Chains A and B, each alone.
Chain A
Amino acid sequence: MSQIKIVNLQKSFGDFTAVKNSNLKINDKEFFVLLGPSGCGKTTTLRMIAGLELPTSGEIYLGEEEVGMLRASERDIAFVFQLFALYPHMNVRNNLSFPLKMQGYKKNDIKTRVEEAAKLLRIDHLLSSNISSLSGGDRQRVALGRALVRRPKAFLMDEPLGTLDAEFRELMCLELKKLHIDIGATTVYVTHDQLEAMSLADRIAVMDGGQILQADEPNIIYNKPKTKFVASFIGSPGMNFIDINEGISNEQSSISIEDVNFNIPKQFENSKSNKNFFGIRPENLSLTNKGGLKGSVFGVEYLGSRKIITVKTNIGEIKVKTDISINIKLNENVQIKPSNDNIIIFDGETDKSLNSEFMK
């Protein structure tokens, strides 16, 4: 097992730059998730770590060794594909043995290792089955097993649960997490599903447009997003952004929106723009009788344990996550205000969050 370090990594396909000047450090034994919408460069980054794509420029370190230009087979990593990519002409045992055979292990060693991995993944009863007779979940277990038997320096997984149905995905998610705790292997996991990312990751890197926007622990990514994109991509629904048509200055601790004054965490820097955004998550807003931003109820969604209320105001629609007990009707006039100081100001020019008492 070892740490993975990416330095100034860049990848272009012709005129298109898939990954821009990326830097990352993935710690030993960490479960690291690359999260982002499709086309954001997360898979390309993973494939470069694997050696399936060669970087246009930059370096990749696996442990102490620079592997950027090495062949995939020379890097001692294992890759789990979304489509599993099990060898269709081999049975389960041969699929699991294949990587070991290629590395020249002895027959007995292969047998013990394969059976060990199969037991860990609870597929030992399937060893002589054909791949085509397996269910989706079992195929994914075999694919994991094929990665596991090698005891590689790192596991790379490209949306391995993407093709499973929802129920199974949850189950496999739990198993993956448990597996990671059991074997403690450095894992890089690519997904576009924030729930998967949140539940699996030790740390998450959010990517967009070929750039790594933020790499942090899940709760920091969620609560203290560094850019507007991260704030809107994470969370369901994403963060509310309210336009502020004024500059923000250092030491400022209140703000007026639609003639209503709101306290904000003390800001530590000046904004570069005169058009900024007031960011707040729906669960940090509450309905009030007076002293809030006025609007009318536009929609109510029941989520079982919570309700999401969309309020139409003069400055756009704002989503509020409330307790299920609140009884509210469509078109009712309401007022909303922040219920705590989890408020982030995003600079209109850079889309980055301003440093503040809350963000520090």
Chain B
Amino acid sequence: MDTSRSYLEPSSFSKKIAAAIIIVYTVITLIPISWMVMTSFKNVDSAISYPPEVLFEPSLEGYVNLFTNRSRQSPEYLDSLPPPENWYEELVRSREMVITGPSKFLGRYSNSMIIGFGSTFASVFLGALAAYAFSRFRVPLKDDLLFFILSTRMFPPIAVAVPIFIMYRKIGLGDTHLGMIILYTVVNLSLAVWLLKGFMDEIPKEYEEAAMIDGYSRLQAFFKVVLPQAMTGIAATAIFCMIFSWNEYAFAVLLTQFNAQTAPPFIPTIIGEGGLDWPAIGAGTTLFLLPVMIFTIILRKHLLRGITFGAVRK
């Protein structure tokens, strides 16, 4: 009998089954995403061809259409123009159109960046301060306050859309970056406080006490001793906050039009001539997916690594 293997360890057969299930699940969840990415590299015709094309000649038309405004012109006018200066102009001309200027996508995309990262930073920073206070100090009515903070998540945020819309219009926060950052921070903050409090409770208070005896102030100890050790929790919280504020659609539709409009309400408005421009929508969605993906991949190692391992005996 094989005695080297513990009885609690799964057999190689059940490991294979588990792997198979994970592979099937991964494929199923990746199909729509890969279809979206494929669509972004198709041209307008092959995107809507039936039966759908799995193998196709890749084209950057979707991306060109996403970033430009174009207008259709007569062949005579096109012939009268000087030859195209670069590859994307040539691509547009072959569709009997000319580029009239850059589209709004880049602006909307950077709005999403500013608001997404801004509110994530604010949520995590304020959340960490509050979580630390709740974790370490004798806050009067601590349990009630924590419940109150959580209760802000007990209704869908959009339920308060109308009052917020009216308030924002009155105080001039409508369609501003600051307004959206504040709004998403408010929504994310309760989650951040609760998540981070759990992580802070796990960090022995002796660390910051030792640092305070060695010469740090409370605030220095918080920034230089507690926060580095809470990195795992901060990373997890940041990812959750980022995903929410990056993907949020309803408030963005309602509260932003020009100045601070984010990408989610903008992408569905990309409509080509004579039908939806699927490759452009695919391109917009693919580019929209990237930041959260990269953000998560960067922070992933913090999610997996327990940095306090072995430093304290319990």
Contact = CB atoms under 8 A, between A and B. Distances in A.
B308 interface: yes
Given A79-B209, A88-B308, A139 B313 contact: yes
B314 A73 contact: no
Contacts of B309: 88, 132
Given A89-B228, A89-B307, A132-B309, A83 B214 contact: no
B213 A132 contact: no
Interface residues of B, number: 24
A88 B213 contact: no
Contacts of B207: 85, 87
Interface stretch (A96-104, A184-192, A204-212): A96-104
Contact of B310 (A73, A103, A132, A146): A132
Interface in A66-106: 71-73, 77-79, 81-89, 98-99, 102-103
Contact of B209 (A85, A98, A103): A85
Contacts of B215: 73, 99, 102-103
Given A89-B228, A132-B309, A136-B313, A73 B209 contact: no
B210 A81 contact: yes
A85 B312 contact: yes
A73 B214 CA distance: 6
Nearest to A130: B310
B212 A83 contact: no
Nearest to B228: A89
B263 to A, nearest CB: 38
A116 B204 CA distance: 29
A67 B225 CA distance: 25
B217 A83 contact: no
B76 interface: no
A83 B208 CA distance: 12
A77 B213 contact: yes
B79 interface: no
Interface in A111-129: none
Nearest to B207: A85
Interface string B187-219: 000000000000000001011011111111100
A13 B138 contact: yes
Contacts of B212: 51-52, 71-73
Contact of A83 (B216, B228, B307, B314): B314
Contact of A86 (B217, B307, B311): B311
A89 B228 CA distance: 9
B307 A88 contact: yes
B229 interface: yes
Contacts of A250: none
A163 B209 contact: no
Interface in B207-243: 207, 209-217, 225, 228-229
A231 interface: no
B313 A72 contact: no
A359 interface: no
Nearest to B215: A102
User: Most chain-A CB neighbours within 10 Å: which of B206, B207, B217, B309?
Assistant: B206
A263 B8 CA distance: 67
Nearest to A82: B206
A308 B213 CA distance: 46
A131 interface: yes
A78 B210 CA distance: 9
A358 B56 CA distance: 105
Interface in B109-143: 138
A34 interface: no
A99 B307 CA distance: 22
Contacts of A50: 213
Contacts of A102: 214-216
A139 B214 CA distance: 18
Contacts of B313: 83-84, 136, 139, 163
A24 B215 CA distance: 27
Contact of B217 (A71, A98, A99, A132): A71
A51 B213 contact: yes
Contacts of A72: 209, 212-213
Contact of A88 (B138, B209, B310): B310
Contacts of A163: 313
B213 A79 contact: yes
A203 to B, nearest CB: 24
Contact of A99 (B214, B228, B310, B314): B214
Contacts of A85: 204, 206-207, 209-210, 312
Contacts of A78: 213
Interface string B17-28: 000000000000
Given A51-B213, A77-B213, A102-B215, A132 B311 contact: yes
B299 to A, nearest CB: 18
A56 to B, nearest CB: 13
Contact of A73 (B138, B217, B311, B312): B217
Contacts of B217: 71, 73
Nearest to B140: A14
A145 B59 CA distance: 66
Contact of B229 (A84, A88, A139): A88
A146 B225 CA distance: 16
A98 B314 CA distance: 24
A83 B204 CA distance: 8
B54 to A, nearest CB: 50
A79 B307 contact: no
Contacts of A79: 209-210, 213
A313 B75 CA distance: 121
Given A79-B209, A82-B206, A88-B307, 7 more contacts: A52-B212, A79-B210, A83-B312, A83-B313, A84-B206, A87-B210, A132-B309
6 contacts: A86-B210, A86-B311, A87-B211, A88-B311, A132-B310, A163-B313
Interface of B: 138, 204, 206-207, 209-217, 225, 228-229, 307-314
Pick the 3 closest A-B CB pairs, nearest first. Answer: A102-B215, A88-B311, A132-B310
